[in-house]
Amino acid sequence: MAETALARPRLQAPPRFGPALLVLALCAAALAGTWANVSALLPRGGWWAAIVAPDHSRPADMLAAYSLAPRLVVSLLAGAALGLAGAILQQVLRNPIASPTTLGIEAGANLALSAALIWAPGFLAFGREWVTLAGGLIAIGAVLLLSRRSGFAPLVVILAGMVVGLYCASFAALLTLFESHYLAGLFLWGAGSLSQQDWGEAIFLAPRLAVVALAALLLLRPLALLGMDDAQTRSLGLSVAVARLGALLAAVALTALVVASVGCIGFIGLAAPGLARICGARRIGHWLLSSALVGASLLWATDQAVQLAASAYGGTIPTGAVTALFGAPLLLWMIPRLRLPPGSGWNLSLGSGTGSRRTVLCLAVLGALLLLALLLSSLLGRGLEGWSLALPGDPASPWALRLPRAVSALSGGVLLAVAGCMLQRLTANPMASPEVMGVSAGAAGGLTVALFLLAEVGRVEQTLAASLGAFLALLVLLLLGRMSRGNPERVILAGIAVGALLDAFVSVLLASGDPRAVLLFNWMTGSTYGIGTSAAAISVFGALGLLALLPLVRRWLDVLPLGEEASRALGMPVTLGRMALLVVAAVATALATLLVGPLSFVGLVAPHAARLLGLRRPLGELYGAALVGALIMVAADFLGRNLAFPWQMPAGLIASMIGAPAFLWLLSRKQAVA
């Protein structure tokens, strides 16, 4: 049988241990956790009798029979399904970064179920698994359509998947905000809660997963051939399109069934196949089986640890969030050991770009558009009596309320766009941005820690905590990028891991039930509601200070993308330059995150838009990206205030919903945007 070499570990000698040993180790940890959980519930023993023939007059027996036992079975089934789905996706796409999470399948399934609960509950009568299957298929279909022109290059596929996933997550967050009375438990469920009250979910999952797993078994030989080049596969008589479609359908079905039952459990489908491959699984059948077993044992062990932590500290902890706390470090360890396919050819085009006169004209037009947008956002708006103009100077005019919000949104867009542009030039990586590389998540993590540890958190403490979190996330990514010699696929994989780790940390705190978690959730959506004149003035000074600093770092941004050796030959202090730019990018991201939350998409879209306009020299690109980012955020704030009036839609979420389609359009037109 053919085998894929995508995720083969870079080891000359065979591994000393195989997947079986890893599965045994995980099962041993899971058994220890199960023993502790059951012993705490039934200290006098009689576990088997309590599960098989529970005494309905004893609450402990009922919990063991209808909560602990079915939860254990569901964790095994869901983990095996996600591990198998991840392996199929990686084999079909010949991409070791592919998984239900990175391709947006889970986010699409989650959004479909959320939307059906609100707008079309009648569809659920046919079965919630069909709703999630449709959402997952639409998501993966969009990803494949966008990456088709690149020949499904790994970097393009993952970038498209990340954008589709972010768009679906943003839309689902909006539904959660507006329909909280319908979706009160959806946030906890969406984070991957394995809590069970009976055997219903286990009975639901088992036969359906068995059918899909059997279909995957029948696809074993086509899957093996799909690991080869398409021309070779066709020469052996296999229809590549049909085989790929069937395998993708099986992977999406496995994911949709899990999402329909227990929500999004994000990291198992990415970590399990990679761990199985690193441990020595080579032949396709062995790898698929090992991936399923590793996924099952990994989720089983994680869920038992979650139950131990919940019983010790109280509250409800979503298992899906905790899998990232365990899975992200595993993935970070895997990154240097994965043999990735050749680069996709995505490189930043950092040429001379347009002439100085045309650059000035382009910036002037963008500046005029921004000023017009700012005036319209402050003057025009909806009220109780419909649309009206708010003129300055009138005490009863809402001008004084609208202007600070528009100005703070503008400042946040400038800060994010400049940070994204700096990161893209610093790493010579077109998909580098605060959102993709986990920098925004680092800022959110730092602010979350400060919020839960400090008695009082003022503006200064918030800025320092967010800046420290963003800077630490950047340092980790820079270190991993250095170990990976700047390989773009490894950088994005590390960014996904760091971002997932920090997002999981925040999700666990959000699910803790602490009253501060509600404030944290509202802030993370990127709402400018409540920003006053003083906060807006501070944000403007921060944005202007950053823009004034840009000419001082122009040469660094022009030389550092050429590489370390070339930079040193030109007399550039590489270490000092990189550290200074990292500090500037971290502080800018932190300030922007405080203003518009970590969910916006400006840091990735704005630099590409500036280069699309022909602004490729450092200063022109930076200032152009700043103006584009400001335009996006001002428009997002205006739409958020007026689209669903009197409801307020967060500017950060609206920006992600504006930026995601824009970037997907760019991606469909130009597989190498820069």
Residue 523 lies in a domain: yes
Residue 556 lies in a domain: yes
Residue 433 lies in a domain: yes
Residue 560 lies in a domain: yes
Does residue 137 sit in the same domain as residue 242? yes
Does residue 463 sit in the same domain as residue 332? no
The crossing angle, in degrees rounded to 10, of helices 533-549 and 399-427 is 30
CA nearest neighbour of 292 among 488, 86, 142, 450: 86
pLDDT band at 4 (very low <50, low <70, confident <90, very high): very low
Sign of the CA dihedral running 301, 304, 309, 310: positive
Section 259-279 average pLDDT: 86
Does residue 135 sit in the same domain as residue 236? yes
Q: What is the 3-state secondary structure (H, E, C) of 465-525?
A: HHHHHHHHHHHHHHHHHHHCCCCHHHHHHHHHHHHHHHHHHHHHHHCCCCHHHHHHHHHHC
Does residue 533 sit in the same domain as residue 614? yes
Section 31-38 average pLDDT: 92
Residue 23 lies in a domain: no
Distance CA 476, CA 471 (A): 9
| pLDDT for the residue 398 | 76
| Cβ burial 419-446 (10 Å sphere, 16+ → b, else e) | bbbbbbbbbbbbbbbbbbbbbbbbbbbb
Q: Which of 276, 306, 337 is the last residue of a domain?
A: 337
Section 448-462 average pLDDT: 77
Distance CA 291, CA 80 (A): 7
Cα–chain-centroid distance for residue 483? 23
How confident is the model over 517-544, as pLDDT tens digits? 666 666 666 667 667 788 788 889 989 9
Does residue 131 sit in the same domain as residue 267? yes
Residue 356 lies in a domain: no
Which of 276-290, 293-307, 330-344 has the weakest average pLDDT?
330-344
| pLDDT for the residue 13 | 42
Give the SS3 label for residue 634: helix
Runs of H (alpha helix) within 511-615: 515-524, 533-549, 554-559, 564-569, 574-596, 602-612
Q: Is the pLDDT of residue 5 over 50?
A: no
| pLDDT for the residue 396 | 62
Specify which of 259-273, 362-376, 391-405 reaches the highest per-range mean pLDDT. 362-376
Place of tokens 């049909």: 242
Write the CA distances from 465 to 275, 515, 584, 593, 599, integer angstroms: 34, 20, 15, 11, 18
Distance CA 1, CA 17 (A): 22
More confident position, 6 or 139: 139
Give the SS3 label for residue 343: coil
Distance CA 185, CA 165 (A): 21
Number of domains in the chain: 2
Residue 620 lies in a domain: yes
Does residue 316 sit in the same domain as residue 463? no
Distance CA 614, CA 608 (A): 10
Does residue 326 sit in the same domain as residue 425? no
Q: Is the pLDDT of residue 11 over 50?
A: no
| DSSP H or E segment with residue 254 | helix 240-262
| DSSP H or E segment with residue 382 | strand 380-383
**Domain range enclosing 82:** 63-337
Q: Which of 289, 308, 337 is the last residue of a domain?
A: 337
pLDDT band at 513 (very low <50, low <70, confident <90, very high): low
- For residue 214, give the CATH number of its domain: 1.10.3470.10
Specify which of 131-140, 305-314, 564-573 reaches the highest per-range mean pLDDT. 131-140
Section 553-575 average pLDDT: 76
| pLDDT for the residue 23 | 93
More confident position, 395 or 335: 335
| pLDDT for the residue 295 | 94
How confident is the model over 199-257, as pLDDT tens digits? 999 999 999 999 999 998 888 888 888 877 777 777 777 787 888 899 999 999 999 99
Does residue 322 sit in the same domain as residue 448? no
Residue 264 lies in a domain: yes
Q: Is the pLDDT of residue 2 over 50?
A: no
Section 328-345 average pLDDT: 62
Output the pTM of the full model: 0.80
Average pLDDT value over all residues in the chain: 80
| pLDDT for the residue 315 | 63
Write the CA distances from 294 to 82, 326, 378, integer angstroms: 10, 13, 55
Does residue 145 sit in the same domain as residue 237? yes
CA nearest neighbour of 416 among 581, 536, 589, 553: 589
Q: Is the pLDDT of residue 12 over 80?
A: no
Q: Which of 274, 308, 337 is the last residue of a domain?
A: 337
Does residue 119 sit in the same domain as residue 232? yes
Does residue 326 sit in the same domain as residue 423? no
More confident position, 350 or 577: 577
Output the CA torsion 545→546→551→554 (10° steps): 160
Does residue 179 sit in the same domain as residue 81? yes
